[in-house]
Amino acid sequence: MPAVTSAGTPTRVLFVTHSYYEEDPRVRREAEALVAAGMWVDVLGLRKPGAQEREVIDGVHVRRLEVQRHQGAGIGTYLAEYAAFFARAAVVAVRLHARRRYALAQVATLPDPLVFAVAPLRLDGVPVILDLHEAMPEFFRSRFPAASRGPVRAGLLAAERASIGFATRALTVNDALADRLTALGVPPSKVAVVLNSPRSDRFDPGAHPVRPFMADGSLRLVYAGALTPLYQLDVAIRAVALLARGARDPDAGADGITSPGAGTGQRVGPGADASEDQPAAAPLRPLDTTLDLYGRGDAEPMLRDLAARLGVADRIRFHGRIPLEAVAARIAESDAGLAPTRRDEFTDFSLSTKIFEYAAMRKPVIASRLPTVERYFGRDTLAYFEPGDAGSMADAVRGLVDDPEARAASVDAAQARVRELSWEREAARYVALVRKLARP
């Protein structure tokens, strides 16, 4: 069924997203899925310095508003940025609607109240989807713990409820977040889930030269994502130092010698029942390990300083942000992918897209043990480590190196799971939802 109106024109959809469109994989996948279904899609997003104001990307008409992201800034700067984008998006949305006569509008969070930027369209009868990428109250509590207590948290929850109540339908990225919304009182019939799985044509291991595991005797780890405190790349750098030294825990000296029992579950230090005849742990061989970081963020200076202090600056390679289209090739050149997410009440609902991308490219995945990740991938499919624990991460990496059969089984199981949760399946469900909601 073609996505056209009775007058023969394409169904027209407006996206509003407080992000750089070219760097937002979820919004891009959704917009491109609608274009592939024969719809016209306009996107209003942020504008990086030097970027064109208007551009057509894979059939999607992108308008960049004169607002930029201030990653890692204080809460006041964030609020000013949100307000500036809200005001510009609201004005442009009305102007475009007067010409386009949109059949549907979709607003991506954060922030949730951005949905009110399309209030004039909603009053004109245009259905609105609120695409909740994150849980806003938990996000702000994680990012600004001191400022997100008491009345502020109550206000964030109220804003979330009002935003969802205003929208025709709430869309979110996994079942854990959907369960959270229904627990807050949102009717289940108002909530839909479209997973953040990658497009299989963009993450196709057959499309890139793939490096065999440790082909040259060295171990290449890769991380593709934001360099922010949410992702514990400091833990990853400490783990690289442990692996390179053959050490067991972060308290090891430069020669790799650790206290008796370190990393083995034995208690050491004050209060420990240590004895002279306690058997020493078997020595570990050093692993020639490097970590390639593809991304940018406010944590980069701290990470560079940490790598220098630990003596592994030559093993931690910062490449900056790369286009989404280039990520798969960089993963193919690696041996294993890292998804080192911090655990808190915000990330308990997190399911990192990086896990899908590494698994789709048939690379072992080393991931923080988080509830939603285990919910989708099981307890044994990935190489899990305890969040915040460099020794646990190093042990997970050693397990992959030392057990080729378990590593191959993990790769097969993870890739099979990604195929079950493929974007192609999710895209069909998403397009069907838009067609159902779009006004005639």
- pLDDT by residue for the chain (440 residues), tens only, comes to 445 554 567 899 999 999 999 989 999 999 999 999 999 999 999 999 999 999 999 999 999 999 987 766 677 788 899 999 999 999 999 999 999 999 999 999 989 999 999 999 999 999 999 999 988 888 888 777 776 677 888 888 899 999 999 999 999 999 999 999 999 999 999 999 999 998 888 999 999 999 999 999 999 999 999 999 989 999 999 999 999 999 876 555 444 434 333 333 333 333 334 444 555 555 688 999 999 999 999 899 999 999 999 999 999 999 999 998 999 999 999 999 999 999 988 889 989 999 999 999 999 999 999 999 999 999 989 999 999 999 999 999 999 999 999 999 999 999 999 999 999 999 999 999 999 999 98
Tokens of residue 418, six digits: 């990604």
From residue 64, alpha-carbon distances to 33, 89, 107, 359, 365 in Å are 20, 10, 15, 33, 35
DSSP class per residue in 106-162: EEEPSSGGGGGGGHHHHHTT--EEEEESS-HHHHHHHH-GGGSSTHHHHHHHHHHHH
Question: How far apart are the C-alpha atoms of 333 and 306, rounded to whole Å?
Answer: 25
The sign of the torsion formed by the CA atoms of 391, 298, 159, 95 equals negative
Given a contact cutoff of 8 angstroms between Cβ atoms, the answer to whether 361 and 205 are in contact is: yes
Count CA atoms within 13 Å of residue 122 on its CB side. 17
Q: Where are the chain's structural domains?
A: 12-197+423-437, 205-246+284-420
Same fold, 12-197+423-437 and 205-246+284-420: yes
Helix axis angle for 233-245 and 390-402, nearest 10°, is 60
Question: How far apart are the C-alpha atoms of 252 and 296, rounded to whole Å?
Answer: 30
Three-state secondary structure call for residue 349:
helix
Tokens of residue 37, six digits: 């279904």
Three-state secondary structure call for residue 63:
strand
Tokens of residue 155, six digits: 């206000």
Q: Do you find a cis peptide bond into 323, omega within 30 degrees of 0?
A: no
Three-state secondary structure call for residue 179:
helix
CATH number of 205-246+284-420: 3.40.50.2000
**What fold is seen in the domain 12-197+423-437?**
Rossmann fold (3.40.50)
Q: Report the candidate in 171, 139, 169, 132 with the shortest Cα–Cα distance to residue 153.
A: 139
Q: Output 88-94 pairs: Cβ under 8 A, ≥24 positions apart.
A: 89/16, 89/44, 89/65, 89/114, 89/117, 90/116, 90/117, 90/118, 90/119, 90/120, 92/44, 92/63, 92/65, 93/14, 93/16, 93/44, 93/117, 93/118, 93/120, 93/121, 94/120, 94/121
Three-state secondary structure call for residue 307:
helix
Stated as kind and residue range, the H or E segment containing 68 is none
Tokens of residue 88, six digits: 């510009």
Report the relative pairing of strands 54-57 and 60-65 from DSSP bridges: antiparallel
For Cα atoms 347, 427, 350, give the angle at the middle one, nearest 5 degrees: 5
Report the relative pairing of strands 336-339 and 316-318 from DSSP bridges: unpaired
Residue 246's CB is within 10 A of a number of other CB atoms, namely 18
Tokens of residue 76, six digits: 């006041």
